[in-house]
Amino acid sequence: MEITETELAGLFVLRPTAHRDPRGLFTRTFDAALARAHGMELGPDCQDSQSRSAPGVLRGMHGRGGAGEAKLVRCASGAVWDIVVDARPGSPTLGRHHAMRLDDTDFAALWIPPGFLHGFQVIGERAADVCYRIDRPHDPAEDIAVAWDDPDLALPWREQPRLISERDAAAGPWASLRG
């Protein structure tokens, strides 16, 4: 597995090695010891979650207040355009984003540290399953959201969303999150 840090400190891309043969393939999607060596720790209370989204669905931009949450995100089936935004107060990259394709072909995953916003849009014409390994139990009272199309962030979405939740459509501007 290759682990590389992005231009946003603490945000890592994990690229596993797929072993292919006539039967198909095998790949290790996470290695706790290797992650720990790069400062990624999920802790004893981690939770796994999964979403399935139809083509064109956009989910985001979501984050967690309070202590935040760290998460490992990957696309197990289909493909998504994934975007994270640094929302850490005082960060030298505050407001900057990282965007990349996550899919079931190269199995890349993103390690997203606390203090980032996260969202994705399904690309292609089939549904996508996105898997999350989160470092702490979910507390809905700490949920935060920022408008996916906020002009101050100018996020590079691939297309207009075909479907978005009411909550995401009503999310506030980036400026209100920063105070």
Whether 119 maps to a domain, the answer reads yes
Q: In the predicted model, is pLDDT for residue 178 greater than 80?
A: no
30 inside domain: no
The pLDDT confidence band at residue 67, using thresholds 50, 70 and 90, is confident
Q: In the chain, how many domains are there?
A: 1
Which residue did the predictor score with more confidence, 139 or 178?
139
Q: Are 86 and 7 in contact (CB under 8 A)?
A: no
Residues with Cβ within 8 Å of 79's Cβ and at least 6 positions away in sequence, in order, are: 101, 102, 103, 104, 105, 122, 123, 124, 128
Q: Which position among 97, 98, 118, 132 bears the catalytic label?
A: 132
Is pLDDT larger for residue 112 or for residue 41?
112
Instruction: Please indicate whether residue 62 is annotated as part of the active site.
Output: yes
Residue 11 domain flag? no
Instruction: State the residue range of the domain holding 103.
Output: 41-178
Please report whether residue 14 resides in a domain.
no
Dihedral sign of CA atoms 29, 31, 35, 41 in order: positive
User: According to the model, what pLDDT value does residue 27 have?
Assistant: 86
pLDDT confidence of residue 179: 61
In percent, the amount of the chain with pLDDT more than 70 equals 99
Which member of 62, 97, 98, 118 is catalytic? 62
Q: Token digits for 7? A: 């231009």
Closest CA to 173 of 81, 85, 55: 85
Domain containing residue 67: CATH number:
2.60.120.10
Q: What is the pTM of this model?
A: 0.92
**3-class SS of residue 113:** coil
28 pLDDT higher than 90: no
